[in-house]
Amino acid sequence: MTDPQWQALLRVIRGELVDPLPVGLIVDSPWLPGWAGIAMLDYFCDERVWMEANLRAVRRFEHIFLLPGFWAEYGMCTEPSAFGATCTWHADTFPSAGSVLRDHTEIGRLKKPNCRTDGLLPWVVRRLQRCRPAIEAAGHRIRFATARGPLNIASHLLGQTEFLVGLKTNPEEIHRLLEMITEFLVEWIDWQAETFDSIDGIFLLDDLIGFLRDDDFQQFALPCLKRVFAARRVAVRFLHNDASGLITARHLATMGVNLFNFSHQHNLQEMREAAGPQVTLLGNIPPRDVLAQGTPDGVRRSVAEMLGATGGKRRLIVSCGGGTPPDVSTENIDALWAAAGNLT
C-alpha cells in the first residue's frame, strides 16, 4: 500500500467518515496469476514474474486497497510446510499441503518448527527482501505480517475432519497442538516485523474458526487468536474468516481485531450488530457468483443492495465476502469501484 492509502485505511479504522467510500480487495494467488495471464507455477517460482504481476495490479487499480499488498505467499502451503507437510505443485492450479499427522496420537511427536529456517517461510521473507527496493520505488511499502491462523494450520496438519472431531474426543491433545502452533505464529509474526520496519499490521486468515459453536470457539480459538494478535503492537489487526462469522464477530474486541473480512452470507447490518461499532468491516458482496461470474451491472446492483442493508458508512470498506476469487475481471472490479460512489 502507498502512504496515502495506508493513512486512509487508518482513518477508516479510527472511525472517520472517508469520502469517497473506500474499496478494498484481498488479493493473492487464486486471482492474480490468472488476471495477469501467467502460469500459477511461474508466479510462485519466479520473483520477477511475481513482482511484475503485483505491479500491474497496483497500477491498474490504484484507487483500491489491494490487501495486504505484495503478498509473498505459497497458497495454503506456506505455514504447514514448516511443520513438514508435503507440498504438491501444479502448473495452473493451486498447490496443496498434505497432512503430517495420521491421528491425534501422533500430536506428541510434532516439534515446533523454526520459522527462520524451516519450510517455505525463509523463501517468503527472502522474496520480500529482494523485492523491497522495487516495491518502495513504486511508492508502496510492506505493511502487514501475514499468516494462516492456528486452527487453519492445525486442520492442514491433522486433516480437517480429524481436527474437528478431536475437539470433542481428544481436547488435551488438540490444546497441545494449538499451543505449539500459536507459539510458532508469534515467532513468525515477530520475525516478519523485525525484518521489515514498515510493518504496522497483522493479517491472519482462519476459516476453521467459522466451524465452531460458541463454547468451542471460546475454549480452543479465542485464547490462540488473542495471543497472536497481541504478538506486536500494530495499528491494524486484520482477520479474515469467510465461513460462518457471527460467533467470531462477537469476540473480535476481545481478540483485539479492528478489521474483519467475513462471508457474504451475513449482511452488513447483522454483522455490525454482532461485531459492534468499533470494528471496521471489509465486505461483502458474493465473491464467486457476483464478482467473478456476474456482470458489471450485477456487481453494481449487489453493492447497492449491500449498502442498503447498513445504517452507516463509518468503519466500512466495500469488498467481497472473502478473498478475490479466480476469474474476476477488470470490468467487474471497476464496477465495484464505481458502485461505491467513486466514479471520476
344, 343, 341: which is closest to 18 by C-alpha? 341
The predicted-structure confidence for 124-178, as pLDDT tens digits, reads as follows 999 999 999 999 999 999 999 999 999 999 999 999 999 999 999 999 999 999 9
Calpha distance 223→174 (Å, rounded) = 13
Q: Give mean pLDDT, residues 77-105.
A: 94
The predicted-structure confidence for 189-219, as pLDDT tens digits, reads as follows 999 999 999 999 999 999 999 999 999 999 9
> 244-259: buried (b, 16+ CB within 10 Å) or exposed (e) per residue?
bbbbbbbbbeebbbbb
Q: How confident is the model at residue 311 (pLDDT cuts 50, 70, 90)?
A: low
Q: How confident is the model at residue 342 (pLDDT cuts 50, 70, 90)?
A: low
Contact residues for 228 (Cβ-Cβ < 8 A; gap 6+): 147, 149, 150, 182, 185, 186, 189, 202, 204
- Cβ contact 330:299 at 8 Å: no
Coil vs helix vs strand at 238: strand
Helix axes 150-158, 222-229, angle to 10 degrees: 120
Coil vs helix vs strand at 324: coil
265, 247, 248: which is closest to 306 by C-alpha? 265
The predicted-structure confidence for 15-47, as pLDDT tens digits, reads as follows 999 988 999 999 999 999 999 999 999 999 999
- Cβ contact 233:239 at 8 Å: no
Q: Is 168 exposed, middle or buried (0-12, 13-18, 19+ CB in 10 A)?
A: exposed
95, 80, 276: which is closest to 181 by C-alpha? 80
Residues shown for the chain: 344
Contact residues for 337 (Cβ-Cβ < 8 A; gap 6+): 23, 61, 63, 64
DSSP letter string, 81-111: HHTT--EE--SSS--EE--S-SSGGGGGG--
Q: Is the pLDDT of residue 343 over 70?
A: no
Q: How confident is the model at residue 344 (pLDDT cuts 50, 70, 90)?
A: very low
Q: Is 146 exposed, middle or buried (0-12, 13-18, 19+ CB in 10 A)?
A: buried
DSSP state for residue 124 in the 8-state scheme = H
> 99-108: buried (b, 16+ CB within 10 Å) or exposed (e) per residue?
bbbeebeebe
Q: Identify the residue with better confidence: 307 or 204.
A: 204
Strands lying side by side in the sheet with 144-148: 144-148, 201-205, 236-241, 259-262, 280-285, 316-320
DSSP state for residue 288 in the 8-state scheme = I
Query: Range with the lowest mean pLDDT among 3-12, 76-85, 333-342?
Result: 333-342
Domain extent listing, the chain: 3-339
If you average pLDDT over every residue of the chain, what do you get? 96
Report pLDDT for 19.
87
Report pLDDT for 310.
75
Distance of CA 10 to the CA centre of its chain: 18
Distance of CA 106 to the CA centre of its chain: 29
Helices (H) and strands (E) in the chain, counts: 16, 10
Q: Is 4 exposed, middle or buried (0-12, 13-18, 19+ CB in 10 A)?
A: exposed
Please give the share of the chain, as a percent, with pLDDT higher than 90.
94
Q: Is the pLDDT of residue 288 over 50?
A: yes
Contact residues for 194 (Cβ-Cβ < 8 A; gap 6+): none
Please give the share of the chain, as a percent, with pLDDT higher than 70.
99
Fold of 3-339: TIM Barrel (3.20.20)
